[in-house]
Structure 1
Amino acid sequence: MISLSRKSRPHPDAALLKRIGQTVRARLDADPAAYRLPVEGLEIYGVSNFLSEAECQRLIATIDDVARPSLTYDGNRSGGRTSYSGDVDPWDPFTLMLQRRIDDLVGLDPDTGETIQGQRYTPGQEFCPHFDHFNPAQPFWDREMGRGGQRSWTAMAYLNTVEEGGSTDFPKVDLSIPPQRGALLVWNNMAVDGTPNPNSLHAGRPVVKGTKYVLTKWYRTRAWG
């Protein structure tokens, strides 16, 4: 979970992040399987049936194996993030195949992608409004600049359809997306000028009935790690 503090500091790499945005935008706009959601002030795309039912079931089993109480970015357990999560094995052949598919969809260098993380939400669990991008005013900014820099784009897939609740909401643009098995969401954490976009604020709303499984992959400005 990234702090909502918005202290003003010049943002490095804005020009590079602007070019990354142009690259991914052109790639997704040219892909007939990718649908740009009609909202103002946020670049967000959806791909239906990106994952098959069998792939979703395999990933759900993997998440159950690695899931631990979720931590915020500073390594703490927080009431704002009450799910279970864990990184999948990046060297597993199935994971490598999946990573290549996501990399190919967005057209970004695989080296800039973080390890895929799986999350599981049971009734009452949620992830309160947060940003995926880093604020240069945060204490861990210098460390992150040394291991890939800013998070540019986020790819998140729903692995199952939840009986009730569990939507992903973007309150700044009045957008709510319910879980749909196999669907992939891709959004730009930056504005078109390459600076952090306040409209990328989002939340995983509480599950009411059932269990919600998702996977998330973040992309950095440069090679991650």
Structure 2
Amino acid sequence: MSSTQTIPDQDALRRVGRQVRERLENDAGVYKIDTPMAELYAVGDFLSLAECERLCLMVDDTARPSSLHEIGYDSGFRTSYSGDLDPHDSFVKGIGRRIDDLLGLPSEIGEAIQGQRYLPGQQFKPHNDWFYTSENYWKDERQRGGQRSWTTMAFLNDVEEGGETHFTHIGIKIEPKPGVLLIWNNALPDGTPNEDTMHAGTPVVKGAKYIITKWYRTRKWK
């Protein structure tokens, strides 16, 4: 049996990966982070300071203890507070469209923008954003839009100490800077999951950390 038959959504991940890669690498405003281990990009000043401040307030309004599929908040694996921003809010829709346009992807395959807040001591231990298809939750996620292809994450504020995004396999830490958008492909060019996209939100030591995240699937997100 071929790999395209055994790995769900492999063909779609390969196609979407190529489409976004070509778009980003032809955009002079996008910086490609130098690593052979993952397709990782950054855009400086994607959001204005005023937009960041407004989004921070919206995150505060929606934040609830985070969970991760069957793993609850009490496990200590993900101790941030998070919540989906109102997808019908015109400001939120505008931010979402700008991210869609940057990647060249249709809005219907994008998940709702999620806001996250980390206070001192809170963290998100090393994890991948793609779904493990052997786990029970995959049956639901497959119906909801399939595998995650690309991740976009914007920093909303300066953090006094800590709170870096640590790509643990690649060995780089990215310090939060308000307005910066990180983008990465969760798959390899052949459409198989990229283990080297493992990353962590390191514990905040002083201050607070605010981010928004928008994930893209391979099919329409429900």
Q: How far is the alpha carbon of 1:73 from its aligned partner? A: 2.0
Correspondence for 2:43: 47
Are residues 1:141 and 2:117 paired?
A: no
Shift of 1:74: 2.4
2:9 is equivalent to residue 13 of structure 1: yes
Spell out the pairing of 1:181-200 with structure 2 (5 A cutoff): 181-200=178-197
Match of 1:207 in 2: 204
Percentage of matched positions with identical amino acids = 54
Report the Cα offset of residue 84 of structure 1: 0.6
2:70 to 64, 67, 74: 74
Unaligned ranges ≥5, structure 2: none
User: Is residue 116 of structure 2 the alignment partner of residue 119 of structure 1?
Assistant: yes
Question: Alignment partner for residue 86 of structure 1, among 76, 83, 87?
Answer: 83
Q: For 1:94-133, what aligned pairs fall within 5 Å after superposition?
A: 94-133=91-130
* 1:150 pairs with 2:165: no
Distance 1:26 1:85 in 2: 32
CA distance in 1, matches of 2:99, 2:27: 13
| Whole-Å separation in 2 of the counterparts to 1:30 and 1:148 | 28
Aligned residue in 2 for 1:167: 164
Letter in 2 for 1:195: T
User: Structure 1 residues 128 and 108 mapped into 2: Cα distance closer, same or farther (>3 Å)?
Assistant: same
Please provide the CA RMSD for this pair. 1.1
| 1:176-207 residue CA offsets vs partner (Å, 9 max, x unmatched) | 10100100000000011101100011000001
Residue 220 of structure 1: SS of its match in structure 2?
coil
| TM-score normalised to structure 1 length | 0.94
Q: TM-score, normalization: structure 2? A: 0.96
Do the aligned partners of 2:188 and 2:194 also contact (CA within 8 Å) in 1? yes
2: CA distance, partners of 1:30 / 1:202: 26
In 2, the alpha carbon distance for the partners of 1:43 and 1:73 equals 26
Does the CA-based 8 Å contact 2:114-2:214 persist in structure 1?
yes
**What is aligned with 1:29?**
25
- 2:70 is equivalent to residue 57 of structure 1: no
Unaligned runs of 5+ in 1: 1-8
Deviations 1:127-151 (A, max 9, x none): 0001100011011112111110000
SS at match of 2:149: strand
